[in-house]
Amino acid sequence: MLAVSASSRPVATTCLTGFALNLKPMNEIMSNFNIAYFFGFIGAGLMVTSYLMKSMLPLRVVALVACLFLVLYGYFSAAIPTLLLYGALIPINIKKTMQIHKLVRAIENAKSDTPISEWLLPNMTRRTAPAGTTLWSKGDAASEMLYLESGSLRLVEYDELLAPGSLVGEIGLFSPDNVRTLTLECATDCTLFSLSSEGMARLYYQNPKLGFHVMRLVVARLMKDTEKARHTASASSFAPLNAA
C-alpha cells in the first residue's frame, strides 16, 4: 500500500477544501436554474394557453400572468432579453385588460333603453363633414357605421332628417351582401363618429354579448323601416281614390 507522507497531507486537505468551496456556488447555480425552469415552464404553458383562448378578457388575464412568470424566469436564469421583453409586455397587457374589462362592464350594465352609442363611442373615430357631403350612396359597399354628434344627416330616398344622437349604417354592416340600402348625405356641417366593420368585429370578438345588443338595434331599425314602408304604401293606395 502507498503511504501518504505527513508533508503531503496539508496539500490534499487544501485541495479537498477548495473543491468543496467550488461545489457550493455550483449548487447555488443549479438551484437557481431549477427555480428558473420552474417559472419558465409555467409561463410558457400559460402563454400557449392564452393563444388557444377565444374570449379576450380571460385571454389577456392569462397572458398577463404568463408574462409575470416569464419575467421571474428571466431574472433567475439571468436572461436579460427575456426579462426586458416580458417586463415591457406587462404594462401593455394591463392596459388592454382594463380597456376590455371596462367595455364588458359597460355592456353588462346596459339596460334595454340604454343607447348603444354610449358604450360604442370610446371605440369610434371622430371626424367632421361639411354640408352637402354624400357619405355613401345606395348600393355602395358598407364599411362603417356612424354616430351623429352634431348637425343633421339626410336619408335621401325618404327625405328624412336624422338628428344628433342618431346611429346609422349598422344594417349594411350585418346584411349578407354588405350593401347600403339608402343614400346618406350631410344636410348641414356634421361632427361624426365612425366604427369600421373590422372594429365592430374586434369588439364582438372581445365580448360576444355585443352581438345581442347590436341585434336588438338592427331589429328595431328594421321594424321602423318596415312601418315606414307600410305607411308609404298605404298613402300611395289612397292617393288615386282621393283623386277620383
Give me Rg for the CA atoms of the chain: 33
Does pLDDT of 171 surpass 90?
A: no
Alpha helices in 53-127 (DSSP H): 56-76, 80-109, 117-120
- Spell out the CATH class of 117-239: mainly beta
pLDDT confidence bin for 241, thresholds 50/70/90: very low
Contact between 182 and 224 (Cβ < 8 Å): no
What is the spatial distance between Cα 107 and Cα 124, in angstroms, rounded to a whole number?
16
Contact between 69 and 43 (Cβ < 8 Å): yes
User: What percent of the chain is modeled with pLDDT above 90?
Assistant: 25
How do residues 4-55 score in pLDDT, each as one tens digit?
Answer: 444 444 544 454 444 444 544 555 555 656 888 889 999 999 999 988 887 7
Task: Report strand pairing: 134-136 vs 160-162.
Answer: unpaired
Contacts of 194 (CB under 8 A, 6+ apart): 124, 125, 127, 144, 145, 146, 147
Cα 60–61–66 angle (5° rounding)? Answer: 95
What are phi and psi for residue 208, nearest 5 degrees?
Answer: -60, -20
For the chain, residues classed under CATH 2.60.120.10 are: 117-239
How do residues 56-86 score in pLDDT, each as one tens digit?
Answer: 778 888 999 999 999 999 998 888 998 999 9
Alpha helices in 110-208 (DSSP H): 117-120, 170-174, 197-206
User: What percent of the chain is modeled with pLDDT above 70?
Assistant: 65
Does pLDDT of 197 surpass 60?
A: yes
Count of positions (residues) in the chain: 244
Does pLDDT of 168 surpass 90?
A: no
State the average pLDDT for the chain: 77
Name which of 32, 71, 70 is nearest 48 in CA terms: 70
How do residues 82-136 score in pLDDT, each as one tens digit?
Answer: 899 999 999 998 988 887 777 667 666 654 445 566 667 777 889 999 999 999 9
Using a cut of 0.85, tell me whether the model's pTM lies above it: no
